[in-house]
Amino acid sequence: MATRSVIAKLDDNGIKAVYCHNDGYLEYNGKLLDTHYTNENKVDKLLAEGDISSLGREIGIKTDFNSSCYNKGDDFAYQCKFYARDRDEKGTEAQKFKNEAELLDSDLVSMSNGFIYLYAYGTWYVYDNQTIKYNDIVATYQFVELEEVLYNVKALR
Q: Between residues 96 and 142, which one has the greater pLDDT? A: 96
Chain centre distance of CA 68: 21
Which of 20, 14, 33, 12 lies closest to 129 in space, CA to CA? 20
Q: What is the pLDDT of residues 59-102, one digit of tens each?
A: 998 988 887 766 655 666 789 999 999 999 999 999 999 987 88
Enclosing domain of residue 56 = 5-156
Task: Give the whole-angstrom CA distance, residue 5 versus residue 69.
Answer: 20
Q: Are 7 and 42 in contact (CB under 8 A)?
A: no
Total domain count, the chain:
1
3-class secondary-structure state, position 53? strand
**Full-model pTM:** 0.80
Least confident of 17-21, 123-127, 143-147: 143-147
Q: Specify the amino acid at residue 85.
A: R
